[in-house]
Amino acid sequence: MPRDPDTLREGPRPPSVDDNMTPVYSQEPEDQETYRHRSQTPVDTYREQAGEAAPEYHIEVPETEQHPVLTQCRSVENYEKLNRISEGTYGVVYRARDRITGEIVALKKLKLDQEKNGFPITSLREIYTLLLAKHPHIVNVREIVVGDTLTQIFIVMDFIEHDLKELMSGMRSPFLQSEVKTLMLQLLSATELLHENWILHRDLKTSNLLLNNKGEIKVADFGLARRYGEPQGVLTQPVVTLWYRSPELLLGAKQYTTAVDIWSIGCIFAEFVNNEPLLPARSEAEQLEKIFKLLGMPNDKIWPGFSKLPLASHVPNFVQPYNLLRSRLPYLTENGLDLMSKMLTYDPTRRITAEDALKHPYFSEAPPPKHPSMFPTWPSKGEKTAKKNASPSAPQAVHGHGQDEEEAGGLFNFANQESTGFRLKV
């Protein structure tokens, strides 16, 4: 195989083999030289046929475009902090500008102060998941940068204007059916990719769904996500925010599957349609009660293995055998209701998969899903300077580091308006 000498970049050779040294290791392979002279080895026969000489040792280094290179983390100084967007248990999110390209990004600062076990495994999972799951509807992670001390770690992500919980709490009327379909299709396709890659999100809820001004959903916050496999290892409990938690989790099932994410999506679906959470409860017992009141009491017939679940015997025994989903969703079409009940099926093995849900007739009946570019736009809460942003210099007030100006939005701050939305107490 003649090679272009220009593409061949020679590196250091491996240390030479000392012929006089007696091998000590019993399973020791003989010298390379010995192999080369052993005529019956397949490789030599092959080589003779091909008329090739044995190549010399060297390390060939592929061109750097073909593979990632080892580099250090860049400093957070490459970004200019603009303002704080939100703060949760996981950490603080800032809006920032890339000093070189001028792009607006979100910086998520990890909370590491109280870590007793070094770098948190959840953050490792989050980074892994975000890298693996590259998808138009999953938030894009750009890089990870560090501050001056070892505990300042920031994940740099694309900046997305809204989160759906915030947005919906400021909306006077629910999404249109065509809009719901678009959002659901996007959410399901992202979930399908995750599940295909053996990843559970485990915390799907409206506040973890971001929406940009192009009508595109981005699934975010993979802090609880993890890979799973067959056979399943030990999975942590409890997972998923209460309102979106599936009955098998509430009943203490040791093993769970991708079906837990689908239940959450079912709850989100109803929330899109009604513009209010489907099952807002304050405790696990109340959550189960609300589920049973809405969907009827499960039994071993519709959910084989139900009575064997650890907490099934503690379930309050009020009898409400009927599925009342229709009463909560009076204006949804038959197909829509069918999809919803398939997502909110008690038996996790019979709950619809993301793949099948995407093919559901609900999405092909009228009205068709609205094209994302036709979505209405809203001023962003995170981006306090929505109007002035068009001019190159942003106001000085938002340049301070770590400033927290929650109510600067004024006219455009929907969160402060009266809303019927519910707030989750974390």
Residues in contact with another protein by CB under 8 A are 9, 11-12, 14-18, 21, 23-32, 35, 40-43, 45-46, 54-55, 57-62, 64-65, 67-74, 117-119, 121, 124, 127-128, 131-132, 141-144, 146, 150-151, 153, 198, 226-227, 229, 233
Tokens 């599925």 belong to: 323
Instruction: State which residue, 229 or 410, has the beta carbon closest to another protein.
Output: 229
Neighbouring residues of 382: CB distance < 8 A, sequence distance ≥ 6 = 83, 85, 86, 95, 106, 159, 161, 162
Catalytic residue among 6, 163, 203, 347: 203
Question: What SS3 state is found at 122?
Answer: helix
Neighbouring residues of 421: CB distance < 8 A, sequence distance ≥ 6 = 165, 168, 169, 170, 275, 276
- Residue 272's Cα: distance from chain center in Å? 20
CA-to-CA dists, residue 51 to 37, 44, 45, 46, 231, angstroms: 15, 10, 10, 9, 50
In the complex, what is the shortest distance from the CB of residue 2 to another protein, in angstroms, rounded to a whole number? 12
On whether the CB atoms of residues 267 and 280 are closer than 8 A, the answer is no
In the complex, what is the shortest distance from the CB of residue 356 to another protein, in angstroms, rounded to a whole number? 23
In the complex, what is the shortest distance from the CB of residue 409 to another protein, in angstroms, rounded to a whole number? 33
Q: Where are the beta strands (DSSP E) in 139-278?
A: 141-146, 153-158, 162-163, 199-200, 209-211, 217-219, 226-227
23 prior amide bond cis, ω within 30: no
In the complex, what is the shortest distance from the CB of residue 12 to another protein, in angstroms, rounded to a whole number? 6
On whether the CB atoms of residues 190 and 211 are closer than 8 A, the answer is no
Instruction: State which residue, 5 or 118, has the beta carbon closest to another protein.
Output: 118
Query: Hey, what long-range contacts does 16-20 have (CB within 8 A, 24 or more apart)?
Result: none
Q: Which helix (H) or strand (E) covers residue 168, if one does?
A: helix 164-169
Residue 148 falls in the annotated catalytic set: no
In the complex, what is the shortest distance from the CB of residue 33 to another protein, in angstroms, rounded to a whole number? 11
In the complex, what is the shortest distance from the CB of residue 179 to another protein, in angstroms, rounded to a whole number? 33
In the complex, what is the shortest distance from the CB of residue 186 to another protein, in angstroms, rounded to a whole number? 24
Instruction: State which residue, 20 or 317, has the beta carbon closest to another protein.
Output: 20
Give CA–CA dist 255/370, Å, rounded.
Answer: 38
In the complex, what is the shortest distance from the CB of residue 212 to another protein, in angstroms, rounded to a whole number? 21
Q: How many CA within 13 A on the CB side of residue 319?
A: 0
Backbone dihedral angles phi then psi of residue 288, each to the nearest 5 degrees = -60, -45
Give the CA-trace dihedral at 256, 262, 266, 272, to 10 degrees. 130
Instruction: State which residue, 103 or 405, has the beta carbon closest to another protein.
Output: 103
Tokens 């301070």 belong to: 400
Q: How many CA within 13 A on the CB side of residue 189?
A: 14
Look at strands 74-75 and 141-146 and give their pairing: parallel
Give CA–CA dist 365/189, Å, rounded.
Answer: 19
Give me the active site residues, please: 203
